[in-house]
């Protein structure tokens, strides 16, 4: 990836926005028994909210339909939680083949000074209030944008870090290609690279 593709803030912002707009934002709420009780997803202007009382198979079909045009999945704790449960519940789910950007994996890399890396839920004024999976999915996308900018800043100020750890944020509108690649332990993040137009 050329450095020129990463510079020039306006094009980068547009590319980052295109990457997020081409991503399926996903959050699942799961019972202690490992059963999906809420699904929240957003893709562009579309949202999907389903609770445990609805038909899970139908909700998963709707989720597949939303994911059909997505370039990647963005969420918080996707790899170790949401996608694992989804794989156990619906192993043939097409969205399981999409590249994944897990903001929980990126958080300690981009914000090592934070004492914790859970998703901050601004909409929850009272800790005991119910989770909103669509709001959580959108909050994860906002966190990813912050992480992306932090990585870009690190790339500019600490280029030697990227010689050994190929964490490469890219959001180029010049090439029509958006990608995000990171080295990880246990393949927690896969490359999310595809045309964004």
Quote the tokens at residue 73.
């999945």
Pull the structure tokens for residue 20.
Answer: 């997020």
pLDDT tens column, 67-111: 999 999 999 999 999 999 999 999 999 999 999 999 998 888 888
User: How many domains, the chain?
Assistant: 1
Task: Please indicate whether residue 164 or residue 162 has the higher confidence score (pLDDT).
Answer: 162
| Domain of 149, in residue numbers | 3-195
d(CA 10, CA 15): 9
pLDDT at residue 174 greater than cutoff 90:
no
pLDDT at 120 over 50: yes
Tell me: the pLDDT tens digits for 4-53? 333 345 455 577 888 899 999 999 999 999 999 999 999 999 999 998 76
Name the residue among 130, 59, 74 with its Cα closest to residue 104: 74
Task: State pTM to two decimals.
Answer: 0.75
Start-to-end CA span in the chain (Å): 19
Burial of 118-149, coded b for 16+ CB within 10 Å and e otherwise, reads ebeeeeeeeeeeeebbbbbbbbbbebbbebbb
Q: Return d(Cα 48, Cα 63) in angstroms, integer.
A: 7
Q: Quick one: pLDDT at residue 122? A: 62
The CATH number covering residue 185 comes to 3.30.420
């Amino acid at each position: 990836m050329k450095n020129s593709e990463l510079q020039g803030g306006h094009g980068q912002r547009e590319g980052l926005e295109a990457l997020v707009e081409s991503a399926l934002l996903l959050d699942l709420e799961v019972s202690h028994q490992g059963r999906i009780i809420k699904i929240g997803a957003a893709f562009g202007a579309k949202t999907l909210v389903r609770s445990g009382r609805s038909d899970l198979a139908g909700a998963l079909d709707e989720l597949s339909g939303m994911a059909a045009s997505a370039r990647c999945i963005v969420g918080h704790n996707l790899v170790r939680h949401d996608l694992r449960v989804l794989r156990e519940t619906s192993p043939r789910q097409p969205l399981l083949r999409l590249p994944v950007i897990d903001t929980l994996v990126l958080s300690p890399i981009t914000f090592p000074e934070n004492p914790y890396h859970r998703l901050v839920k601004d909409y929850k004024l009272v800790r005991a209030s119910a989770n909103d999976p669509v709001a959580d999915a959108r909050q994860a996308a906002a966190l990813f944008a912050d992480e992306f900018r932090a990585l870009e800043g690190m790339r500019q100020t600490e280029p030697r870090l990227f010689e050994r750890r190929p964490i490469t944020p890219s959001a180029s509108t010049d090439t029509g290609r958006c990608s995000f690649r990171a080295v990880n332990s246990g393949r927690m993040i896969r490359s999310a690279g595809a045309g964004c137009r």
